[in-house]
Amino acid sequence: MIHASADVQTSAIGDGTRIWQFCVVLPGAAIGRDCNICSHCFIENDVVVGDRVTIKSGVQLWDGLRVEDDVFIGPNATFTNDKVPKSKRYPAAFLTTEIEAGASIGANATVLPGIRIGRNAMVGAGAVVTRSVPPNAIVVGNPARIVGYVDALSNGTSPPPRAQGGAEAASEDPLLYKLPLVTDMRGSLSVGEFGRSVPFDAKRYFVVFDVPTSEVRGEHAHRVCHQFLICVRGQVNVVADDGVRRREVVLDRPDIGFYMPPMTWGTQYKYSPDAVLLVFASHYYDADDYIRDYGEFLSLAGRAA
């Protein structure tokens, strides 16, 4: 359905798509099936829109934009394609901005050019997105920062469980391990034994510290390597994603470990300024063991990408 007041110059429109009042679509644009393009939208030539995309009123999609399936774009969301625009002066090629499948962009958000909004990510209303957003991340503010992960928090609002629950917290999550803790007037000691309290034999360790609180670490999975995380000082949020279920915990004590089995997409963020994260790994470093693309991870994990 194309409204009589719309100026639609492309024939590359899928079945079931609706284009409403006062929209302009230039001849080079490609629009998929079952989309809903609300009134007063503009779509330029070098734009590809996937299937089942909702574009609310007052949105302009400029050259270089790629929108995958099942994306929601809220009213008056703003996209850009030139970092240094000048009147009557055009770049040789406009930057490509990618909005991956299932992502949602809130009303009045601004997205800078040349970045990627990851699969199922959520951009809050009014956010200014200056850097690429990881899959499933929830970002808000100016500049946009990660405040959570989709489905890792209850309704996106309740805080994740904290390791400071001790044995009780560990018993509620199969990935949390309670390590022995000895405390007396001389101080405290926590100990782990590989193959016993730590569920594998380690061949490598690394320590993460001095991380700015706005930064995100991880954002990858391993094919065969096991990892075991202990926050020996401060606190850090850890997200584990097996492709179906996403869980999040705050590590904030040295006698609780978080186990990351192979084929788990791991993320660490919200580091406190004093955080020190100790990680044991079952294998020596191997660049080929890393999976850094979330779509590839879902495919290898046997989940629909």
Q: Looking at the annotation, which residues are catalytic?
A: 220
What are the CA-CA distances from residue 218 to residues 36, 75, 176, 269, 291 (Å)?
A: 36, 33, 18, 9, 11
CA separation for the pair 64, 91 (Å, rounded): 12
d(CA 109, CA 264): 31
> Which burial class, exposed, middle or buried, applies to 111 when counting CB atoms under 10 A from its CB (0-12, 13-18, 19+)?
buried
Single-letter amino acid, residue 187: G
**CA 173, 272, 117: angle at the middle one, nearest 5?**
75
Could you tell me the two tokens for 107? Answer: 């009303």
**Strand 276-281 with 204-209, pairing:** antiparallel
What does the alpha-carbon distance between residue 194 and residue 190 come to, in Å, rounded to a whole number?
Answer: 14
